[in-house]
């Protein structure tokens, strides 16, 4: 059992793609995948899974859903691969597609609503972000996971992933002002959680 | 400006989005107000810590086999609609190969699947409709042949590397790797047999290339190339 998980868990980024016995660039792999080469697409998956899973995990704070969403994102990427144009970076294209998959999922679960601009802190959420005194050392990842969904989404997209408010507004359907308000709230809740 | 107002502007200050006179006012306030300054410092620390978060987190299990399976099975309806008068290969051969791809990282599951696919093979003989699991490749035969030579070459190098590092490896890991290699080799063997009878079949070539790639990915992961 241990041996199996040793292999399953052992994943890393291969900076050099070995395909057909030659060093391949990412754009070689993308063109081959666009031509229906599933092996090339698997290599792309292997090299991007960490970023995409990390994004999904931080956005939904649930490892199993993050796995499903990662799979969904790559399946969607395969389906839309013909629409990818080489002038943009594949990583950027894939990342944005994954964000949309996650946002779609949040919406379908009612965890994200563009109408919902209520950003007042509810006592329940405040206390959720405040860990019990016994675990004083709060890890940032955990504190992010405990943020309310909308604040977490905006924080992850803006502060972790580097999207701007304009882009977030476009992807989520909220206004830039609301995006800023969510970010402000997320940062405040995180500081509060981390200072305990 | 009140302390509350100043604190609301700290995000914009950090983003460099304040008009210069407002920015100056905020900074002057920070210079004389200890509590706002502490707030600002905390915010900077949070952003620093956030910037240090790893950009990659890896899932605890291999998500690829399911992705591959779903991509492949999405092709069924379209492929079935296309009339194929004479199936040149028994369809279960394709299924067996795809199933091995799914099961390649889970040995007990693979055994079960192999048993299943043998049963399915029996049932398959009465079926006339071919079920094809893999995308059509657009490459020419010459491209395919060239790519196979490359694959075989790379595979040989990797297997030699694996052999050299054998002694350094955890024996339990080695057992699982070898079992997975055996399963992949079995799938590869089946595909070669099928190709002998139908050398021009692109799907078989594509499946074969995918199996080789999986084998190489497995070895690369184990020997950490
Ligand atoms: Zn102040």
B60/A8 touch (CB, cutoff 8 Å), yes or no = yes
Residue B59 lies in a domain: no
Asked if the structure places residue B58 within a domain, the reply is no
Indicate if B74 and B185 belong to the same structural domain. yes
Q: Which of A88, A185, A195 is nearest to A131 (CA)?
A: A195
Q: How many CB atoms lie within 10 A of CB A48?
A: 22
Residue B181: the pLDDT is 77
Residues spanned by the domain of B34: 3-51
Distance CA A132, CA A146 (A): 13
User: Does the beta-carbon distance from A36 to B216 stay under 8 Å?
Assistant: no
Q: What is the pLDDT of residue A97?
A: 97
Which residues does chain A have within 8 Å of residue B67's beta carbon, measured at their own beta carbons?
45, 71, 74-75, 78
Of B122, B101, B121, the C-alpha closest to B110 is: B101
Q: Given this chain, do its domains A1-111 and A116-196 carry the same CATH topology?
A: no
Q: Which of B16, B18, B57 to mutate to test the interface with A (most CBs of A within 10 A)?
A: B57
Please report whether residue B143 resides in a domain.
Answer: yes
With beta carbons under 8 A apart, name residues in chain A contacting B40: none
* Residue B136 or residue A119, greater confidence: A119
Best probe of the B interface among A5, A34, A37, A73, by most B CBs < 10 A, is A37
Residues in Cβ contact with B132 at an 8 Å cutoff, skipping those fewer than 6 apart: B75, B76, B79, B91, B94, B203
pLDDT > 50? residue B10: yes
Out of A11, A19, A160, closest to residue B58 by CB: A11
Q: Quick one: B81 and B167 in the same domain?
A: yes
Give the per-residue pLDDT at B127: 30
ipTM of the complex: 0.79
Pair type for strands A22-24 and A17-19? antiparallel
Residues B23, B91: one domain?
no
Domain locations along chain A: 1-111, 116-196
Same domain, residue pair B100 and B151:
yes
Flag whether B220 is in a domain. Answer: yes
Q: Which residue has the tokens 């999986």?
A: B214
- For tokens 């594949």, name the residue: A90
Domains: count for chain B: 2
State yes or no: pLDDT of A159 exceeds 50.
yes
Q: Is residue B159 part of a domain?
A: yes
CA distance A105 to A111: 8
Q: What is the pLDDT of residue A103?
A: 95
Cβ separation B214–A42 shorter than 8 A: yes
Alpha helices in B15-140 (DSSP H): 20-32, 34-51, 64-73, 76-81, 91-103, 107-124
- What residues of B are in contact with residue A54 (Cβ under 8 Å)? 54-57
Query: What's the confidence (pLDDT) of residue A135?
Result: 40
| pLDDT score for B223 | 65
Q: Check whether residue B41 and residue B72 sit in a common domain.
A: no
A53-75 pLDDT per residue, tens: 999 999 999 999 999 999 999 99
Is 60 exceeded by the pLDDT of residue B34? yes
Question: Do B81 and B118 belong to one domain?
Answer: yes
For range A158-173, the mean pLDDT? 95
Residue A11: the pLDDT is: 26
- Three-state SS for A33? helix
Name the burial class of residue A174, with classes exposed (0-12), middle (13-18) and buried (19+) by CB atoms within 10 angstroms of its CB. Answer: buried
What is the fold, at CATH topology level, of the domain defined by A116-196? Arc Repressor Mutant, subunit A (1.10.10)
What pLDDT, on a 0 to 100 scale, did the predictor assign at position A18? 55
B70 and B35 in a common domain:
no
Find the range with the poorest average confidence among A19-23, A143-147, A187-191, B55-59: A19-23
CATH tag, A1-111: 1.10.1740.10
What token pair was written down for A33? 């995948």
CA angle A8, A11, A17 (to 5 degrees): 125
A133-163 burial, b at 16+ Cβ within 10 Å, e below that, comes to: eeeeebeeeebbebbbbbbbbbbbbbbbbeb
Instruction: Specify the pLDDT at position B111.
Output: 29
Q: Does A178 touch chain B (CB under 8 A)?
A: no
The pLDDT value given to residue A74:
97
A115/B174: higher pLDDT:
B174
CB B57 within 8 A of CB A57: yes
Model pLDDT, residue B146? 58
The dihedral through the CA atoms of A124, A130, A131, A132 has a sign that is negative
At B106-164, the pLDDT tens digits run: 333 232 233 333 333 333 333 322 222 222 333 455 555 555 666 677 677 777 877 88
Evaluated on CA atoms A15, A17, A18, A24, the torsion sign reads negative
| Residue B56 placed within a domain | no
pLDDT of residue A22 exceeding 70, the answer is no
Banded model confidence at residue B212, pLDDT cuts 50, 70, 90: confident
**Residue A114 pLDDT class (50, 70, 90 cuts):** very low
Residue B57 falls inside a structural domain: no
Is B188 inside a domain boundary?
Answer: yes
């Amino acid at each position: 059992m241990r041996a199996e998980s040793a292999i399953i868990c052992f994943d890393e980024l291969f900076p050099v793609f070995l395909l057909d016995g030659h060093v391949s660039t990412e754009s070689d792999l993308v063109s081959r995948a666009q031509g229906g080469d599933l092996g090339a697409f698997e290599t792309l998956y292997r090299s991007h899974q960490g970023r995409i899973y990390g994004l999904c995990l931080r956005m939904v704070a649930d490892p199993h859903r993050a796995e499903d969403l990662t799979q969904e994102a790559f399946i969607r990427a395969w389906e839309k691969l013909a629409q990818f144009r080489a002038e943009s970076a594949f990583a950027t294209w894939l990342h944005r597609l994954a964000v949309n998959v996650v946002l779609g999922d949040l919406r379908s679960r009612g965890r994200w609503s563009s109408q919902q601009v209520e950003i007042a802190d509810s006592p329940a959420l405040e206390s959720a972000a405040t860990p019990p005194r016994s675990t004083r050392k709060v890890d940032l990842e955990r504190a992010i996971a405990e943020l309310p969904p909308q604040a977490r989404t905006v924080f992850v997209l803006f502060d972790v992933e580097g999207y701007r408010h304009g882009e977030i507004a476009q992807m989520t359907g909220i206004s830039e002002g609301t995006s800023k308000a969510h970010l402000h709230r997320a940062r405040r809740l995180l500081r509060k959680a981390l200072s305990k | 400006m009140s302390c509350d107002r100043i604190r609301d502007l700290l995000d914009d200050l950090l983003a460099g989005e304040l008009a210069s006179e407002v920015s100056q006012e905020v900074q002057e306030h920070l210079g004389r107000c200890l509590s706002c300054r502490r707030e600002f410092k905390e915010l900077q620390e949070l952003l620093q810590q956030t910037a240090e978060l790893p950009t990659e987190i890896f899932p605890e299990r291999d998500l690829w086999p399911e992705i591959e399976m779903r991509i492949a099975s999405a092709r069924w309806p379209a492929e079935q609609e296309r009339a194929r008068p004479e199936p040149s290969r028994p369809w279960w051969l394709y299924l067996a190969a795809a199933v091995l791809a799914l099961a390649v990282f889970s040995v007990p599951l693979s055994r079960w699947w192999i048993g299943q696919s043998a049963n399915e093979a029996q049932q398959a003989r009465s079926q006339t409709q071919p079920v094809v699991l893999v995308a059509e490749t657009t490459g020419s035969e010459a491209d395919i042949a060239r790519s196979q030579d490359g694959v075989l070459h790379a595979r040989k190098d990797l297997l030699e590397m694996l052999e050299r590092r054998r002694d350094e490896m955890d024996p339990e890991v080695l057992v699982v790797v070898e079992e997975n290699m055996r399963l992949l080799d079995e799938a590869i063997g089946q595909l070669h047999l099928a190709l002998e009878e139908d050398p021009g079949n692109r799907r078989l070539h594509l499946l074969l290339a995918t199996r080789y790639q999986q084998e190489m990915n497995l070895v690369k992961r184990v020997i950490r190339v």
